[in-house]
Chains A and B, each alone.
Chain A
Amino acid sequence: DIQMTQSPSSLSASVGDRVTITCRASRSISVYLNWYQQKPGKAPKLLIYAASSLQTGVPSRFSGSGSGTDFTLTISSLQPEDFAAYYCQQTYSTIYTFGQGTKLEIK
């Protein structure tokens, strides 16, 4: 299986901050990497697919980058509605796997 490791596991930030979350794959996954946002009590929502493609309707303050084993999700200017959990997922292998998540909290 391909293991996905996110860092940090939790993060405190303020409205207006620039935030970066990292996801590392245990082996190269090209650009087969997605990012999801999950708010409490809600289903995950796709933010970024294929490492850097913004899903329709997602604000442009979200961006993704990377290829191979190292990926980042960046929020350029945090808004109150962005405080949530974020998960990466690889779909390079037919056995899809998620990272352990990053909880973004208000400072």
Chain B
Amino acid sequence: QITLKESGPTLLKPTQTLTLTCNFSGFSLNTGGVGVGWIRQPPGKALEWLALIYWNDDTRYSPSLKSRLTITKDTSKNQVVLSMTNMDPVDTATYYCARRGFGELLGTAWFDPWGQGTLVTVSS
């Protein structure tokens, strides 16, 4: 069974740096094609893809947030960490991590499963 769980601060002040950890089990980030992504969702709004790290340490970031994001992995601990600098109240959201699954035949990819999410509030 594959599970993921996010952890980190629930409340931040503006300009602080957010550090979130995704602890996962049931798969290895050493396996070719596998990745872990971060997605956020402001209250009442749509999903927004943030970042993705692949088994080979390749990383991808949302262009609009790239300058503020860093994603890293520790395969020995089965962890992926997302950092976001200069937090603002508009960054208040539930943050999810999810496993990147893929189809070998076509190279298609998807997120499954997802963690339960963690609500991060930014307020002075």
Contacts and interface: CB of A to CB of B under 8 A. Distances in A.
Given A1-B63, A50-B108, A100 B46 contact: yes
B48 interface: yes
Interface string A7-33: 000000000000000000000001110
Interface in B9-67: 37, 39, 46-49, 52, 60, 62-63
B46 A45 contact: no
A70 B11 CA distance: 40
Chain B: interface size category: 20 to 34
Interface residues of A, number: 26
Given A95-B63, A96-B37, A43 B114 contact: yes
B112 A98 contact: no
Contact of A34 (B37, B39, B60, B110): B110
A73 to B, nearest CB: 14
Contact of A43 (B46, B52, B106, B116): B116
A46 B111 contact: yes
B43 to A, nearest CB: 11
A46 B101 CA distance: 11
Nearest to B47: A98
A31 B48 CA distance: 21
A62 to B, nearest CB: 15
A101 B42 CA distance: 13
